[in-house]
């Protein structure tokens, strides 16, 4: 009997996502089927923030550039934000395993997805780079990081950079420096807040490490986080980095929450409530 089958027999386990039995020995308690079920974005997206687009072309927008309504009105301070896939399904569950259940072995699987995002951004960032291209991460407040034991963005970014480095131009120096940004105060959870409330929540909460200001001066930076929701955190971090002397900032995340997805979910909930109400009316009749 193979060692893997013997182990599965003696120490049965189940996938932490789909609950199917695990058949292979692995530090990550997720089955192969789930790991292969994390689709990337394929629909049209905003050229700047990555928001899903309803139409492929927009009046008044330069040819080849497709912008969402928000980016047409207000250009973010970062050059472009990109994410691997939608914040749903297995991808969301895997992020939750790492972030909330502290399954740190999930960082490598997520890092490989983030590496695909970096491969699309690094050529842009290096084209006009003055020296190194630096990968930085969104920091946690010190007390929160101590409580969690790690920063999920740093863990995932470390794997992503190590996966990308051997595949890029050897003349380009891609540097991972997670200590560039610091969070100087605790902030409330962003969950459930409006865009305006999120902006006020993070305003003034980030600062550049004074010992690294010269290091980033005139350099192109790639800011990494786990999830891009409304972009307020990315925008605040980008503004702080640019004020500290960075040349340009790109944003790379594992997943992205789309307004179109939120609207779709709300419609599904509304339809479900209407169906339940209709069923109740029929039952009473």
pLDDT for res 11: 55
pLDDT for res 250: 98
Residue 21 near residue 13 (C-beta atoms within 8 A): yes
- How many whole angstroms from its chain centre is CA 79? 16
Can you read off the two tokens belonging to residue 274?
């209407």
Mean pLDDT for 138-145 is 89
Does residue 279 surpass a pLDDT of 70?
A: no
pLDDT for res 57: 46
pLDDT for res 3: 57
Can you read off the two tokens belonging to residue 43?
């629909």
In the chain, % helix, strand, coil (3-state, to 5) comes to: 45, 15, 40
Stronger pLDDT, 220 or 264, i.e. the higher one:
220
Residue 35 near residue 106 (C-beta atoms within 8 A): no
Mean pLDDT for 212-240 is 94
This prediction has a pTM of 0.83
pLDDT digits (tens, 9 = 90+) for 164-173: 988 887 778 8
pLDDT for res 39: 95
Does residue 6 surpass a pLDDT of 70?
A: no
- The backbone torsions φ and ψ at residue 248, rounded to the nearest 5 degrees and listed phi first, read -145, 160
């Amino acid at each position: 009997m193979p060692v893997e089958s013997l182990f599965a027999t003696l120490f049965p386990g189940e996938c932490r996502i789909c609950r199917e039995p695990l058949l292979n020995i692995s530090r990550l308690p997720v089955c192969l089927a789930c790991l292969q079920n994390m689709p990337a974005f394929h629909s049209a997206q905003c050229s700047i923030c990555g928001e899903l687009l309803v139409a492929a072309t927009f009046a008044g927008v330069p040819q080849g550039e497709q912008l969402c309504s928000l980016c047409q009105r207000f250009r973010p301070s970062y050059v472009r934000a990109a994410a691997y896939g939608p914040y749903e399904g297995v991808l969301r569950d895997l992020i939750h395993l790492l972030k909330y259940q502290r399954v740190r072995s999930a960082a490598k699987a997520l890092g490989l997805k983030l590496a695909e995002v970096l491969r699309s951004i690094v050529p842009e960032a290096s084209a006009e780079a003055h020296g190194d291209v630096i990968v930085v991460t969104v920091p946690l407040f010190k007390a929160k990081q101590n409580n969690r034991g790690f920063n999920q963005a740093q863990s995932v970014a470390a794997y992503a950079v190590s996966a990308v480095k051997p595949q890029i131009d050897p003349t380009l120096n891609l540097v991972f420096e997670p200590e560039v940004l610091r969070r100087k105060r605790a902030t409330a959870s962003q969950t459930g807040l409006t865009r305006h409330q999120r902006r006020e929540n993070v305003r003034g909460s980030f600062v550049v490490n004074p010992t690294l200001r010269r290091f980033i001066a005139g350099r192109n930076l790639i800011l990494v986080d786990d999830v891009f929701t409304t972009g307020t955190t990315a925008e605040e971090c980008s503004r702080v980095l640019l004020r500290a002397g960075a040349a340009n900032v790109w944003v790379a995340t594992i997943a992205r929450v789309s307004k179109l997805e939120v609207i779709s979910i709300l419609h599904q909930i509304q339809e479900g409530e209407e169906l339940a109400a209709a069923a109740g009316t029929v039952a009473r009749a």
